[in-house]
């Protein structure tokens, strides 16, 4: 399946908060945003991809439960990258000190 990219920049440049609100208002859409501010509509994964992602998430989660070195996140979690893109990786891990350094407001938003 192909992603759909929407360039709304000629009309509006969404702030981080506006993009967050757009995602919250449309929970059935998997939206991401690239560094240029274009919206990316992500389609659902196919069976084989979902199976691989699930196994990877499980393995990372088991490793993290054993080591207690950080926090594991699934593909629904949004991350704001240094280039200002907002993406949702298939699986993510954040080192414990970085997680603990976040405010409660940051933890309830896309993770910086």
**Class of domain 4-107 (CATH, top level):** alpha beta
Total Cβ atoms within 10 A of residue 59? 12
* Whether pLDDT at 1 is above 70: no
Q: Which residues contact 90 (CB under 8 A, 6 or more apart)?
A: 53, 56, 57, 75
Q: 17-71, pLDDT tens digit by residue?
A: 999 999 999 999 999 999 999 999 998 889 999 999 999 999 999 999 999 999 9
For the chain, what are the domain ranges?
4-107
Average pLDDT along the chain: 95
pLDDT at 44: 87
pLDDT at 3: 87
Average pLDDT, integer, range 88-105 = 97
């Amino acid at each position: 399946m192909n992603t759909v990219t929407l360039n709304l920049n000629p009309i509006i440049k969404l702030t981080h908060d506006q993009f967050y609100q757009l995602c919250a208002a449309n929970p059935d859409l998997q939206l991401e945003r690239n560094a240029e501010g274009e919206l990316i509509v992500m389609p659902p994964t196919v069976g084989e991809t979902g199976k691989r992602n699930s196994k990877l998430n499980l393995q990372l989660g088991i490793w993290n439960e054993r080591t207690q070195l950080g926090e594991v996140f699934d593909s629904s979690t949004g991350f704001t990258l240094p280039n200002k893109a907002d993406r949702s990786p298939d699986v993510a891990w954040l080192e414990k000190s970085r997680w603990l350094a976040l405010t409660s407001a940051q933890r309830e938003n896309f993770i910086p």
